[in-house]
Structures are given as structure tokens and as C-alpha cells.
Amino acid sequence: MRSSKLISVVPRTLPESHLYSFHFIPTLRSIDFFQSLSAYVAVSMSRQPYVTGTSVLGLIYEGGVLIAADTAGSYGSTTRFKSVERMKAVSNNTLLGASGEISDFQAITQLLDRLIVADAMWDDGNDLGPLDIHNYLTRVMYNRRNKFDPLWNTLILGGVKNGVKHLGSVSMIGVHYVDNHIATGFGIHLAQPIFREEWKENMTLEEGTRLLEKALLVLFYRDRSAINKIQVANVTEDGVHISQPYALKSEWNLEAFKNPTASAAGSW
């Protein structure tokens, strides 16, 4: 079945985009229902991620929220990019971290930048807080999922407003919840159990950071997509501070590691 398809190639970011309005009609090899729909609506088949980030972790401490992630951008099984920023300040009291497709995360931060500016322009003495952004992103993710065109991310949103600390996540299908400690991806299986055991109310910045680093080290050992180059972000009522990338010390000098197959040749 041969069909035509309309694609809009207007770069919507440019103010003079009326000069560039252009549609072209390529003919393709046989395409199915969803692709032919895309002639009229922004529909594409559920796509696949290409450049991805792995786990993001977050926890609430006495002064605000701490969120951490490594700086790897994987391309399938290859660690292709090793200096990817997977956390961004949304406003001066909210931070967004993402795992999943990096291009979609970049599109979301672009969307939020404009949202924050539009909100600030009201100049009405009230600005969007972390809970508002969380709810907004939930709507965005869920509505994209309903169009079979998801943003392929799991997002972690944290911040403080009027003394109230907020930490939550939104998945690519719009599942959202709020908790004192949170993780995405592999972190759900490896970090969350550590948090459930060791998180407590009103941890200090030091204690919170150590707990995050402990979980990140486990992820470095056990998640093949993780690298040993992390950033930890601290969100308080006063502002967002994202650390420079740094590496954790890992432990390999254990006797049991040196000759593990001595008594069972060929085993692993």
C-alpha cells in the first residue's frame, strides 16, 4: 500500500516562522494506520528511544530536596556520551531530573522554560511551584501517551515553596506519585530498598548526600548503563544548586574477587 504523508517542517521556535511555512509530501513504502493518520494529526507509532539516561534518585532532607543522577547518555549498549546534564533547574525553587530519551528531556525543559516565563509575565505575585509543575507535567505525559506518541522519559520533580517540600515522579505513561524518596529505572529496584531502610525525617545535607551516594555506588556496580560520574543537586527555598560532576570511590580490592574460580575452574 503506497500512501502520501504530510510532514510539517516549520521550525516553530523562530519568530519569523511565517516566512518558513512549508509542507512537503514524500511518498513512502507501505505504512499502516497510525502513519497515515499522521498526515492530519501529530501522530506517530509508539517510537523508540535512542540516546538514553539511566536512573535518577531523589530524597527530601531537612533543608529541601536532593536529586542525583549520573551524566551518561547511552546509545543502546554503548556509553556514547559521558557528560550529559540530566537535571535542570526549572525555576529558582524547582528542579527536574529525567531518565530515558535525552531529546525528549530537552524538549520538556524547553517547554517548561516558556511556561515559567509566561507565568512570570503575569507579575501577579505568585509563581508556579514544584507541585504545580508536577501536575502540569503529569498532564503533558498522559496526554502524549493517549496519542500513542509518548515522551520517553521518567521524570523526577523536586522543590520547596513556602516551606513545603515536594518530591515526586511522572512516568512516560502518566503514572505519577509523591514520596519522601524516589527513584527511576534501575534505581527502583536497587536504590529504593536502601532508602526505605535508611531514610529518616530531617536528615542533614551531609546525611542525605551520603545516602544518595551510597545508592549511586550500588547502581554503578550493578547497572550496566551507569557510569562513575555523577551530579547531585540541592533545591532549597532559596535556590537550586547543581554540583559539578564528580566520581565516587569504588571498592574492588576484596580477597574474594581475586581468585574466585580457584576451586571451581570454569565457573563465574
- Residues contributing to the site for other proteins (CB under 8 A): 5, 7-9, 11-14, 16, 19-20, 22, 35, 38, 44-45, 47, 49-51, 73, 75, 78, 80-81, 84, 101-103, 106-107
CB of 76 to other proteins, least distance (A): 10
Residue 75 or residue 246: which is nearer to other proteins going by CB? 75
CB of 221 to other proteins, least distance (A): 22
CB of 143 to other proteins, least distance (A): 17
E strand residue ranges, the chain = 7-8, 23-24, 51-53, 56-61, 64-70, 73-75, 78-81, 87-91, 94-101, 153-161, 164-170, 176-178, 181-183, 230-235, 240-242
CB of 35 to other proteins, least distance (A): 8
Largest CA distance in the chain: 74
Residue 45 or residue 248: which is nearer to other proteins going by CB? 45
Residue 107 or residue 118: which is nearer to other proteins going by CB? 107
Residue 8 or residue 204: which is nearer to other proteins going by CB? 8
Q: Roughly how many angstroms between the first and final C-alpha of the chain, as a whole number?
A: 52
Measure the CA–CA gap between 36 and 145, rounded to whole angstroms.
19
Burial call 185-215: b when 16+ CB within 10 Å, e when fewer: bbbeebbbebbeeebeeebeeebbbebbbeb
CB of 50 to other proteins, least distance (A): 4
Residue 38 or residue 180: which is nearer to other proteins going by CB? 38
3-state DSSP call for residue 160?
Answer: strand
3-state DSSP call for residue 200?
Answer: coil
Provide the grid cell at 260. 574466585
Q: Which of 105, 85, 186 is nearest to 153 (CA)?
A: 105
Provide the grid cell at 11. 521550525
Residue 26 or residue 266: which is nearer to other proteins going by CB? 26
> Could you tell me if 191 and 55 are in contact, meaning their C-beta atoms sit under 8 angstroms apart?
yes
CB of 183 to other proteins, least distance (A): 23
Measure the CA–CA gap between 88 and 240, rounded to whole angstroms.
9
Residue 13 or residue 259: which is nearer to other proteins going by CB? 13
CB of 6 to other proteins, least distance (A): 11
∠ CA 26-28-29, rounded to 5°: 170
